[in-house]
Structure 1
């Protein structure tokens, strides 16, 4: 019997006030999970709580910086006390700085690595002990196509996401014997408010050059949507994926499989 239900599970999605994290948490809630999330500022947490309420979802939000072990440990302890042991962790919080490598300072590089790679390490480390005691758990890391590909101006992001891919595989290797599955989702180019400027029509009605580039590179011939990530996330969070471990599931419309069209 294939079981995609998340009934009664506690799901912690980091940075889930909006965007992809919010979409994944919403999908989990619709499958019966209890949602907890964090963000770095109270106003973002409040924005998230209002958004969940508008969807009819009862969520709990916490102010927490994922790069702080002290704050993360305190948040996880509070979640366990107020809601229950975390059954599902999605390491979604992240940033990107689009700066040419030779113009990027070491401090800027470290900031991206700290949030996008050290953060998932810190939060995973905080929830794993209780997962071991419970005898099961699911960790989903939001990787990226930049776990596999390089591109101009994203040296720090690509380095962090490549590292996160390997952290995913190592958590699977180290804790699989405790019935903990750690997998990654690698989104392609997703239509969100953050990417909206890249999809705006030009003054003459033509596509933005980057929009044309992405559509041409994607066999599906479109941008993805947050909804495209919901099914894969529910699969990796549910009992249906109990023998899937250390895998990165790329939800990219086929970009990574495609060399691109031959120039005319």
Structure 2
């Protein structure tokens, strides 16, 4: 581009490009050079022009106000999006936590006993994780206030307490199951003792008196008294086992061995009554 020459009436003339007239408006493209600015005319021509030819007008108030409104609207939208995002972040663990709590609270001891330990431990791990996530995410959420967090914390504690009770009952049930089987064995042993006493008593009844009826009768009576004392000892033992057995059978949650224990108790009690009555009648006669 050639040199600019100052024209008449205060004009700058660019011989090959543009003429800068007083009052004309141009678009400033680049003012990185102090003495010459790159501008473009309304017709689209670009040129380097002495910077002294121009006055930069003050900022357009309407344009600045419009920009300010746009920035304010943009910030409002960003804040709304951030709040909605925060709300959704707190809602997801809330839903998962309620699902976990409902599942744990639905467990009975019978259901809990049928679960694989790895399964219910995983569910409890999820419950704890979702609870911690909710308490953390809900701090800035508009969907949940302080009262909501307090209520949920109360429900969470009740749920974990229910789990602890089930776990304790399960462990206690395993111990009771062992005791139940031990009582069954003890009752069978008592019934064997009763059968022995019954057999000896029946033999005395059926065996005829031969040489010395009076002497043999006294001897058998003495032997039967010993059997009767043995039966009284068996009766005391049976009473002790029965008392323990009834406590196990009265438990709310029935053990798997409970039907067998009940059957053994009934059979042994009936056997005790029958053999004791037989011995009593024998002694009285």
From the two aligned structures, give the one with the greater strand fraction: 1
Query: Which of the pair is proportionally richer in helix?
Result: 2
TM-score category (smaller protein): under 0.3
Q: Report the TM-score when normalising by structure 1.
A: 0.20
TM-score by length of 2: 0.19
